[in-house]
Amino acid sequence: MSKNGKYKTAPLKCWARVKELRKKYYEDYAKAHDRNGLRWAGGAWSFSAIPSGLGEDVWSLTSEPYAASIAFNKEFSLRCLEATEKAGYARDLCAYMRNYWGSIILNEYAFGGTFPKPDFIWQDHICCSHAKWYQVVCDLEGVIPHFSMDVAAGPYNEIAPHKIDYLVNQMHDGIEWLEKTTGRTYNDELLIEAVKNEFRSTSTWAEICTYNKHVPAPLEEKTMYSLYVLGTLDKHSREVADFYEELRDEVKDRVDQGIAAIPNERCRLMSDTQPPWGFLSIFRYMEEFGAISVGSLYTYGLIGIWEDKPDGSWGPRTTPMEQGIEIKDRDQALRLYADWTLSKPEWQHFYSPHLKTEMMARIAKEWHLNGILLHYNRGCEGLSVGIAENRLGLIEAGFPVMAFEGNMGDEREFDEARVRVRFDTFMETLGIKKDGKS
Amino acid sequence: MSQASLDRETFEVFRNWRINRAQYAKEWKHRTGGKVMGYFCTYVPEELIYAAGILPVRILGSHEVQDVTEPHIFAMFCPFCRDCLAQGLKGKYDYLDGITIAQSCLHIRQAFTSWQKHIPIDYSYYLPMPHHVQSPRATPFLTKELELFKGSLEKWLGKTIDDQAIDNAIDVYNRNRQFMWKVFELRKGDTPPLTGEEAMELVLSSQMVDKQDHNAALEGLLTRLSKREKTRPAGTRLMILGSEDDDIEFVRMVESCNSTFVIDDHCTGTRYFWNNVESDGDRLGRIADRYVTRVPCPSKDWPNRTRVDHVLKLAKDYGVQGAIVMQQKFCDPHELDNPALIKALNGAGIKTLFLEFDVTVPIGQFKVRVEAFLEILQEDDLF
């Protein structure tokens, strides 16, 4: 920790590009039918490279980031949440899901116009809500062809051929279903290209995150949310894979030049689970203490794919292309894709919170952290599962932990003032005062 | 002996098993020298455990307020999973030699993982039960997982689980299901010879005792039920469905209001025993297929919501006039199904009462609502 140190800062050069890509993503989906293209909806974790084999005019709307965009707009979000509750759905269900359903019920697209109904649903399932989310979408919008895959084959440290087979066989079934549903002939070349793009983007994102091990950190988490989101939208696209390489080069350059995310970094933290999207200002409040969240298992491992490096550190997983593997056919592409994705860090805690605690403790150590903020997130049971055990485990491992309750997508369940007070107290326990206070 | 005494005695053995589950398990261990395995979800393939000479017992809560799980499970998860863990933390299941879970909802698995971490236990096993049970890929996957589970049990016990033991376990479990079916068939009659409370006692006790003991008791029960005087009018015929629910007191209260639960869709009811292990094919494959094709928990019922047709069929077959939908607080899988189920039931002319419950049921408040609901249904009968 650099006491009262001042670092030089600079805005990200690629900031405008990331905003442009995100805007284009939502527009492409909405306008797909104008181009005689196809629209599909599914989760950010779905095997999005697979529908790419249907053609280059296929656009998606991934549910969680779309719902997070709604949550950021508190007025619209509240209307969505209330519409969902009025339709009879429980208030304690996933907040993303409720925002998304509300957008359908109100028939309002968060980016303008009416809600664009998908041509088919392509989803995966690991938490209780994933496939069920779209079952309700079908209840609300009328019948939409729906294919969901089960990915809960067990933790990656127990990977076995039959687990890969389970996923790959469902993928093959899914491709057959896609052909039947859309009437299109599937193109394996497009699949292979998309899978390779995804290997590249998810590994590169992990590499970008490793640069935050540097003190001062070149990125802070609030900014990272705007960057990682591309991987939740279109991780299989060439544009996103190329963008992440561009970003990686810029972040590396920031490290080389000593450019920091905040000028007064003196306390390094990480968060956990999604933030309360309507209240990202809390990250700016933290900066008043010289405190920076350098990321989280969430921002690193939601889309980033990682591996143990020979020196014992955590780093980007080596892609099949880097290993010299030539992908020749559909089955090989799907096998590599299944194995790759099953190693996703944010899937491991579904089987045991203790696996997550180990990963978090590892981040805390390798990223030189002073403390950990745990968002007990009422809006997401999937990422909050086991969080109380994470708290116990991290404390046992010797890390200061601050827990706070909130909701990523329901502003009615986040008390900003109280969280700020709690943060003040946490800073006090770490012996850190606000800038200008002696 | 009075009819009331006879009635009590008819179900006393089952009731005692449920209430004195710990004593039963300890005596069973003493009697057989076997081990006892606690399980957290009815997707656990008990046949395999039983074939290993182990007594599988379901871990359930106590319906008592507790203050020991707050550090372990975030309060947004269902009270049931916290109540289950509380039993372990308070030493109520100190007779268990092992614990296991078959992957189902996120809530209950936290009771399992916290138990693993904080309660000393000789053996634990997480079985990745597939979610996509509507896929043809689920049974082959589960079959392989059962092979691994079998191997793990064999390693723990230091003995082989042979084919004969598996065949015997399948037979014992299938017989239990058949007996339960026969008893439940009787509930279709105009004057069911058993109440919903008694039916719940049967299912709950079957999750806690050696199925051979349970089979013997059920066989005797069937004989007694055929002779039982049908003096208790059914009143309004109800169905109960929803989240995990072993709240005998609630069921008793409802049935004290001139009504009878004639059928259910609960994992503490029909979902537990509705499907058999079939007789053709390899042993583990058959067991796997049974758990894949059983009446599903909503967490596994996708992309099609097959439960709707199943529930409507049950309602029709059992002459149901009204349904009480029990929603365990925070139970997401059921929250995701209930609006569609309620709509379907109402569409079929079956009125519903939705109640959200905790591990402690507010009997007084619920009674007012139940009485109002029954009044509405009884008015329907008049007009």
User: Taking the domains of chain A in order of start, what are their residue ranges?
Assistant: 8-429
Which residues of B51-92 form beta strands (DSSP E)? 55-58
Banded pLDDT at A2 (limits 50, 70, 90) = very low
- CB distance A128–B299 less than 8 Å? yes
The whole-angstrom separation of Cα B324 and Cα B238 is: 7
Do B68 and B129 form a contact (C-beta atoms < 8 A)? no
- CB distance A389–B110 less than 8 Å? yes
Cα distances (angstroms) measured from residue B328 to each of A19, A93, B3, B86, B246: 43, 13, 36, 17, 11
Question: Which residues in chain A have Cβ-Cβ distances shorter than 8 Å to B112?
Answer: none
Mean pLDDT of B296-311: 97
Determine the straight-line distance between the first and last CA of chain A, rounded to whole angstroms: 17
Judge whether A275 is closer than 8 Å to chain B, CB to CB. Answer: no
**Which amino acid makes up residue A147?**
F
**If you count them, how many residues does chain B have?**
383
Which of B105, B126, B132 would best serve as a mutation to test chain A binding (most A beta carbons within 10 A)? B132
Counting DSSP H helices and E strands in chain A, the numbers are 17, 12
Complex ipTM value: 0.96
Mean pLDDT of chain B: 95
Distance of residue A144 Cα from the nearest chain B Cα, in angstroms: 11
- CB distance A136–B73 less than 8 Å? no
Mean pLDDT of A97-118: 98
Residue A302 pLDDT more than 70?
Answer: yes
Judge whether A164 is closer than 8 Å to chain B, CB to CB. Answer: no
Mean pLDDT of chain A: 96
Distance of residue B229 Cα from the nearest chain A Cα, in angstroms: 44
B132 CA to centre of own chain: 21
Residue A13 pLDDT more than 60?
Answer: yes
Residue of B nearest to A135 (CA): B303
Element (H, E) at B375: helix B363-382
| Angle at which helices B106-118 and A387-396 cross, to 10° | 30
Compute φ and ψ for B276, nearest 5 degrees: -90, 165
Question: Which residues in chain B have Cβ-Cβ distances shorter than 8 Å to A396?
Answer: none
Instruction: Name the burial class of residue A373, with classes exposed (0-12), middle (13-18) and buried (19+) by CB atoms within 10 angstroms of its CB.
Output: buried
Banded pLDDT at B382 (limits 50, 70, 90) = low
* A77 half-sphere exposure, CB direction, 13 A CA radius: 23
The whole-angstrom separation of Cα A348 and Cα A354 is: 9
Do A14 and A245 form a contact (C-beta atoms < 8 A)? no
Judge whether A143 is closer than 8 Å to chain B, CB to CB. Answer: no
Question: Which residues in chain A have Cβ-Cβ distances shorter than 8 Å to B106?
Answer: 127-128, 350, 381-382, 385
Global confidence as pTM: 0.96
Residue B5 pLDDT more than 70?
Answer: no
- CB distance A131–B138 less than 8 Å? no
Mean pLDDT of A376-392: 97
Cα distances (angstroms) measured from residue B117 to each of A199, B99, B100: 35, 12, 13
Banded pLDDT at B358 (limits 50, 70, 90) = confident
Residue B329 pLDDT more than 70?
Answer: yes
Instruction: Name the burial class of residue A269, with classes exposed (0-12), middle (13-18) and buried (19+) by CB atoms within 10 angstroms of its CB.
Output: buried
Residue A243 pLDDT more than 90?
Answer: yes
Do B348 and A144 form a contact (C-beta atoms < 8 A)? no
Residue of B nearest to A143 (CA): B304
pLDDT at A3: 47
Residue A33 pLDDT more than 80?
Answer: yes
C-alpha angle B16/B20/B22, rounded to 5°? 150
Distance of residue A285 Cα from the nearest chain B Cα, in angstroms: 26
Mean pLDDT of A299-318: 98
pLDDT at A435: 80
The whole-angstrom separation of Cα A397 and Cα A16 is: 41
**Chains A, B: CB pairs < 8 Å:** 139
Instruction: Name the burial class of residue B117, with classes exposed (0-12), middle (13-18) and buried (19+) by CB atoms within 10 angstroms of its CB.
Output: middle
Do A362 and A314 form a contact (C-beta atoms < 8 A)? yes
The whole-angstrom separation of Cα A262 and Cα B27 is: 66
pLDDT at B289: 98
Q: Which residues contact A230 (CB under 8 A, 6 or more apart)?
A: A18, A21, A22, A25, A201, A240, A243, A244
Distance of residue A248 Cα from the nearest chain B Cα, in angstroms: 36
pLDDT at B380: 72
Which of B40, B110, B117, B131 would best serve as a mutation to test chain A binding (most A beta carbons within 10 A)? B131
Question: Which residues in chain B have Cβ-Cβ distances shorter than 8 Å to A153?
Answer: 128, 130, 141
**Which amino acid makes up residue B139?**
T
Distance of residue A139 Cα from the nearest chain B Cα, in angstroms: 8
Sign, CA dihedral A285-A290-A291-A292, equals positive
The whole-angstrom separation of Cα A372 and Cα A296 is: 9
Banded pLDDT at B229 (limits 50, 70, 90) = confident
Q: Which of A92, A351, A389 sits opposite B126 (nearest CB)?
A: A351
- CB distance A125–B105 less than 8 Å? no
In three-state secondary structure terms, B175 is helix
Element (H, E) at A403: strand A401-406
Would you state the structure tokens that stand for residue A427, as one six-digit string? 């800073």
Residue A57 pLDDT more than 70?
Answer: yes
**Which amino acid makes up residue A110?**
A
Element (H, E) at A39: strand A38-42
Do B195 and B260 form a contact (C-beta atoms < 8 A)? yes
User: Could you read off the pLDDT of B56-101 as tens digits, one per residue?
Assistant: 999 999 989 999 999 999 999 999 999 999 999 999 999 999 999 9
Distance of residue A92 Cα from the nearest chain B Cα, in angstroms: 6
- CB distance A125–B340 less than 8 Å? no
The whole-angstrom separation of Cα A49 and Cα A237 is: 8
Please name the residues between 348 and 377 in chain A that touch chain B, using a CB distance below 8 Å.
Answer: 350-354, 376
Question: Which residues in chain A have Cβ-Cβ distances shorter than 8 Å to B299?
Answer: 128, 132
Q: DSSP string spanning A267-294? A: EEEEE-S---GGGTHHHHHHHTTTEEEE
- Could you tell me whether strands A306-308 and A314-316 are parallel, antiparallel, or unpaired per DSSP bridges? antiparallel
Place of tokens 């127990």: A158
pLDDT at B10: 83
Percent of chain B at pLDDT exceeding 90: 91
* Torsion of Cα atoms, B67 then B70 then B73 then B76, to 10°: 100
- CB distance A125–B131 less than 8 Å? yes
Q: Which of A92, A146, A388 sits opposite B330 (nearest CB)?
A: A92
Compute φ and ψ for A307, nearest 5 degrees: -155, 165
Cα distances (angstroms) measured from residue A408 to each of A79, A85, A294, A415: 16, 17, 19, 12
Distance of residue A88 Cα from the nearest chain B Cα, in angstroms: 6
- Bond preceding residue A216 cis, omega within 30 of 0: yes
Would you state the structure tokens that stand for residue B106, as one six-digit string? 């996120």
Do B62 and B92 form a contact (C-beta atoms < 8 A)? yes
- CB distance A129–B332 less than 8 Å? yes
**Listed residue (B356, B339, B341) closest to B310, CA to CA:** B341
Residue of B nearest to A136 (CA): B336
Banded pLDDT at A290 (limits 50, 70, 90) = very high
Percent of chain A at pLDDT exceeding 90: 97
In three-state secondary structure terms, A31 is helix
Compute φ and ψ for A80, nearest 5 degrees: -65, -45
Please name the residues between 73 and 92 in chain A that touch chain B, using a CB distance below 8 Å.
Answer: 87-90, 92
Mean pLDDT of B299-314: 97
Place of tokens 């860090």: A345
Compute φ and ψ for B263, nearest 5 degrees: -165, 165
Q: Which of A55-59, A222-226, A348-352, B231-235 is the least confident region?
A: B231-235
User: Could you read off the pLDDT of A190-224 as tens digits, one per residue?
Assistant: 999 999 999 999 999 999 999 999 999 999 999 99
From edge to edge, which strands make up the β-sheet containing A267-271? A291-296, A267-271, A371-377, A401-406
Judge whether A388 is closer than 8 Å to chain B, CB to CB. Answer: yes
Mean pLDDT of B350-371: 94
- CB distance B106–A381 less than 8 Å? yes
Please name the residues between 173 and 232 in chain A that touch chain B, using a CB distance below 8 Å.
Answer: 173
Judge whether A163 is closer than 8 Å to chain B, CB to CB. Answer: yes
B232 CA to centre of own chain: 26
Distance of residue B79 Cα from the nearest chain A Cα, in angstroms: 14
Question: Which residues in chain B have Cβ-Cβ distances shorter than 8 Å to A135?
Answer: 302-303, 305, 336, 340
pLDDT at A1: 44
Residue B244 pLDDT more than 90?
Answer: yes
Place of tokens 């991934």: A62
Residue of B nearest to A382 (CA): B106
